[in-house]
Structure 1
Amino acid sequence: MGQLTTHVLDLAQGRPAADVEIDIYEQSGDSVKFLRNGSTNKDGRLDEPLLETLNTGTYELHFHIGEYFRRQNVPRVSFLDIVVVRFVINDVRENYHVPLLVSPGGYQVYRGS
């Protein structure tokens, strides 16, 4: 069975983003259900998978990036607050890795391995 993992890289500072709070939600019809949250470690990763058992469906990761950049005392105010990434899990046997590359003015996300 697959699992869901993530990591966050701070492109502005060229290092992993530590202490970023991440919430995960599962979408069901018109509602979104909170599943759990965690925070990244010094390597920008969580100490355990966000989900160790997957179900097919639509999920959202909420990365609390604005708070992270406020703690970093970046010279300019961050444009971003909470980055929401919505994605679909189709095959529960596969691993899903969703990295976030972020700077105060923008971000990129992709399905990693």
Structure 2
Amino acid sequence: MTTCSTHVLDAALGRPAAGLRVHLGGPAGEVLATGATDADGRLRFEVDLQPGAHTLSFETGDWFAAAGRATLYPLVGLTFQAEAEEHYHLALLLSPYSYTTYRGS
């Protein structure tokens, strides 16, 4: 089974980004799953990914607005190539005017 999870950290405040909505998209552009990060900024999708390009879309604009903060990036999209029988843990370090990502374990 090929699975995906994410961990989002608010780099500006030095704490997890709890309650951030995230969508997992499939190779044909369809939405496979939607969820929100937990209190630790983590979200695991219980979807068996098929090989191909998938996208994680983070609703950062709504999340920052709910906290009374502005952001340059209202939506952050990460596209990754899934292969068979692996787990993809994709982390996002987020601040109002920048972000970075990496594959964790």
**What band does the TM-score fall into relative to the shorter chain?**
over 0.9
Per the alignment, residue 21 of structure 2 pairs with: 21
Structure 1 gaps, min length 5:
none
Spell out, residue by residue over 1:61-90, the C-alpha distance to the aligned partner (whole angstroms, 9 max, x if none).
Answer: 10001111111223xx21110101111002
2:99 aligned residue (90, 107, 110): 107
TM-score (norm 2): 0.92
Report how far residue 27 of structure 1 moved.
2.2
1:9 has 2:4 as partner: no
> How many Å separate the matches in 2 of 1:70 and 1:19?
12
Structure 2 gaps, min length 5:
none
Spell out, residue by residue over 1:2-28, the C-alpha distance to the aligned partner (whole angstroms, 9 max, x if none).
Answer: 421111000011000000000111123
Structure 1 segments, 4+ long, off by >3 Å, are none
Report how far residue 58 of structure 1 moved.
0.6
Contact kept, 8 Å, 2:26 with 2:32, in 1: the verdict is: yes
Matched-pair identity in %:
37
> How many Å separate the matches in 1 of 2:47 and 2:73?
29
1:35 aligned residue (16, 29, 32): 32
TM-score (norm 1): 0.86
Report how far residue 52 of structure 1 moved.
3.8
> How many Å separate the matches in 2 of 1:27 and 1:53?
13
Larger radius of gyration: 1
Letter in 2 for 1:34: V
Spell out, residue by residue over 1:20-71, the C-alpha distance to the aligned partner (whole angstroms, 9 max, x if none).
Answer: 000111123xxx111110001110012xx21442211110110001111111
> How many Å separate the matches in 2 of 1:37 and 1:22?
6
